[in-house]
Structure 1
Amino acid sequence: MYQVPPEKLAFYEENGFVQLEDVMSEKEMNELSAYLDEVMAIEGEHTQTVDKDSDYFKILNSKMNTWRDSAGMALYVLSPKLADIARQFSSSSGVRLFHDQAFWKMPGDSKPTPWHQDATYFPMNESNVLTLWLPMHDVDDVNGCLSFIPGSHKEGKLTNVDFLHPIDLLELTKENGTDLRRPVNVPLKRGSFTLHHGLTFHYAHANKSDHPRRVLTIVYMPEDATFDGKSNHELTRGSGFQDGDLIKGRLFPVLASAPNEG
Structure 2
Amino acid sequence: MLSQEQVRFFQENGYLIVEDFYTREQIAAYKEALEETRHAKGEHSFVHNQGGPYSMYEQKVNLWRDFPRIRELTFDPRRAEMVKQLTGSTEIRLFHDHYLIKPAMDSRASNWHQDQPVWPMSEDGPVNCWIPFQDVTVHNGAMAYVAGSHRWGTVKFKANREDEQIEVEGKTSGETKIVPVPIRAGSFLLHHGMTLHYAYPNKSEEPRYAMTVIYLPEWTTYNGNKHPVTEGLSLTKGQHFEHDMFPVLTSAG
Q: Please say whether Structure 1 and Structure 2 have the same fold, judged by a TM-score greater than 0.5.
A: yes
Aligned match of 1:221 in 208, 211, 216? 216
Is 1:46 matched with 2:40? no
**Equivalent residues in 2 for 1:1-262, closer than 5 Å:** 3-50=1-48, 52=50, 58-158=55-155, 170-171=166-167, 173-174=168-169, 176-177=170-171, 179=173, 180-229=175-224, 231-258=225-252
Cα deviation 1:180-219 (Å, max 9, x = unaligned): 2311110001110110000000010000000110001100
**How big is the shift at 1:177?**
4.6
Structure 1 runs of 4+ aligned residues shifted over 6 Å read: none
Point out the structure with the larger strand share: 2
Q: Identity of aligned pairs, percent?
A: 33
Q: Secondary structure at the match of 2:206?
A: coil
- How many residues align? The count is 249
Change (3 A) 1:125 1:66: same
Question: Does the aligned pair in 1 maintain the 2:52–2:103 contact within 8 Å?
Answer: no
What are the ranges of 5 or more consecutive residues in structure 1 without an aligned counterpart?
A: none
Could you tell me how far apart the structure 2 residues matched to 1:154 and 1:133 are?
20
Question: Does the aligned pair in 2 maintain the 1:61–1:103 contact within 8 Å?
Answer: yes
Q: Secondary structure at the match of 1:227?
A: coil
Question: Does the aligned pair in 1 maintain the 2:145–2:196 contact within 8 Å?
Answer: yes
Structure 2 length-normalised TM: 0.91
Structure 1 length-normalised TM: 0.88
Could you tell me how far apart the structure 1 residues matched to 2:205 and 2:236 are?
46
Q: Secondary structure at the match of 2:35?
A: helix
Could you tell me how far apart the structure 1 residues matched to 2:91 and 2:25 are?
28
Could you tell me how far apart the structure 2 residues matched to 1:160 and 1:245 are?
31
Cα-Cα RMSD: 2.4
What are the ranges of 5 or more consecutive residues in structure 2 without an aligned counterpart?
A: none
